[in-house]
Amino acid sequence: MNRSPRFTSAARPAAKPMLTVDAIHTFYGESHILQGVSLTVKEGEVVVLLGRNGAGKTTTMRSIMNLTPPRRGRISFISRDITGRPPYQIARLGLAFVPSGRRVFSSLNVEQNLRLAARSDGASGTTRTTAYVFRLFPKLAELKTRRAGFLSGGEQQMLKLGSALLANPKLLLLDEPSEGLSPAIVGSLGEWIRTLREEGLSILLSEQNALFALRLADRGYILEKGRVQHEAPARELFDSNEVRTYLGVKFPQSA
């Protein structure tokens, strides 16, 4: 007997737009990478960017943070125009970026990494602490004196996410968080994301693992060659023609 996939429940209908990306064009040198990308993330939503390698997912994230500044277009966050603002100012407004790869201070231990990331002037209404991170990731509490360079890939992902949460963001940008992780850790990652969503944190998630991402998301965008080719609720994207066409993915009926 076939089972329907388990999806995250829909965001509140009255939720306001938190992040709006309006027709941005981003270049690397003369290479035109993003060609008019537009998207929105509402309060309390998990939104996923799907696409093959080179589709423009990471560049979209970097453009939002102005790490790779768009040449044209507009980006607003909580009704403020953040286009062209320095990344540190964008972060202080409540945006936190968790890049892909191993981005930790490898010579410092877990607790030192977290203390370095901790801030008491977070932009959200709550203040997350190191104790909060240890409750969310009990494994980090066990490893708090271990140097970050000796952590596994999954443990480093916990540390990166925990460090970002200590800035008390209102919106979290997660770039390819499941990359290189074991299936067991990917399952745990999904539970962490659900927990954060239940706490009211908005999330923009960039992923190649469409099956994993769509089960967490409210809505999704499919990028192909720097353009948004399709946008729809996660339920509609699951096993849709667009997912098969642009990502080459067909989900099993029993997924």
User: Residues 36, 78: one domain?
Assistant: yes
Q: Read off the pLDDT of residues 209-231 as tens digits, 9 standing for 90 and up.
A: 888 999 999 999 999 999 999 99
8 A C-beta contact, residue 250 and residue 228:
no
- Domain with 115, as residue range(s), is 101-168
User: Residues 118, 184: one domain?
Assistant: no
Domain final residue, candidates 168, 196, 219: 168
**Residue 100: in which H helix or E strand, if any?**
none
Q: For residue 73, give the nearest of 136, 58, 81 by alpha carbon.
A: 81
User: Residues 116, 11: one domain?
Assistant: no
User: Residues 71, 197: one domain?
Assistant: yes
User: Residues 155, 178: one domain?
Assistant: no
Residue keyed to tokens 């642009």: 246
Burial class of residue 31, CB neighbours in 10 A (0-12, 13-18, 19+): exposed
Of 59-63, 119-123, 171-175, which gets the smallest average pLDDT? 119-123
Is residue 103's pLDDT more than 50?
yes
User: Residues 143, 114: one domain?
Assistant: yes
User: Residues 152, 178: one domain?
Assistant: no
Q: Read off the pLDDT of residues 168-225 as tens digits, 9 standing for 90 and up.
A: 999 999 999 988 888 888 888 999 999 999 999 999 999 988 889 999 999 999 999 9
Which CATH number fits the domain that encloses residue 210?
A: 3.40.50.300
User: Residues 63, 129: one domain?
Assistant: no
